[in-house]
Amino acid sequence: MLRAAMDLLRETGSEESVSLRAVAARVGVSVPSIYLHFADKQALLDAVCAEVFEQLHVAMKTASADAPNPWEALRAMGVSYVHFALDNPEHYRIVMMRGSSEQAPADEIASGAFGHLLDGVLACIGLGILEGDPVDLGLKLWAAAHGIASLLIAKPRFPWPQVDELVDATICMAGTGLAVGSRLPDELSPDEIVKRLEKLR
């Protein structure tokens, strides 16, 4: 049923088309049978969310695996995050752009993809590129990546200029802004920060 729901979501490209009847028909059972395995339609969608989050997690992991340094790894994570969202727009919409369904999937987020992002941030702090609360830094990066991804998904009619470049530039903007901003009252000058950043590319 879970797989049927995800496939249906990908094929139709719209959440409304994923009705319990459609899922049941695809699986080959009757509608009420779904309620024997999921408490609710929301529960089914929550299961889909968990699955998508796991896929996103591995996508970010593989993208950052062969990065030459933590800074590039962070950038690769951001870019792969956005590309994953654009490749699975409806799944991403369900996970990140809806009412969170009473139940807090915060643990899912924290333990999965966001945890991996935090590792990258910690590595950059260890390298002296970033400074401050890792969670805070990670949330800002997350906001930037999620921002450009969800904008591109929610407004496909907008005359976007060069999507790939825009995504990469947005991630870079967040990175340099974070690096320069977090080290501002520090002993390191912006010149040296940017020089370090360029050396890592």
Partner DNA sequence: GACTTGACTGAACATCGCTAACTTAGCGGC
Partner DNA sequence: GCCGCTAAGTTAGCGATGTTCAGTCAAGTC
Answer for which of 68, 115, 128, 156 binds a second copy (CB under 8 A) is 156
- DSSP secondary structure of 97-128: SS-TTSS--HHHHHHTHHHHHHHHHHHHHHTT
176 touches a second copy (CB under 8 A): yes
Contact between 19 and 34 (Cβ < 8 Å)? no
35 touches DNA (CB under 7 A): yes
Q: How far is the CB of 107 from a second copy (least distance, A)?
A: 10
Instruction: Tell me the window of 27-35, 36-44, 51-59, 105-113 that interacts with a second copy (CB under 8 A).
Output: 105-113
Q: How far is the CB of 154 from DNA (least distance, A)?
A: 20
Cα 6 from Cα 45, distance rounded (Å): 9
Q: How far is the CB of 141 from a second copy (least distance, A)?
A: 9
> How many residues bind a second copy, per CB under 8 A?
52
31 touches DNA (CB under 7 A): yes
Span 39-98, contacts to a second copy by CB under 8 A: 93, 96-98
CB-nearer residue toward a second copy: 62 or 106: 106
Instruction: Name the 3-class secondary structure at 157.
Output: coil
Alpha helices per DSSP H over the chain: 2-12, 20-27, 41-65, 70-87, 89-96, 106-111, 113-126, 134-154, 163-182, 190-199
Judged by the rule CB under 7 A, the positions of this chain that interact with DNA are: 18-22, 24, 28-33, 35-37, 40-42
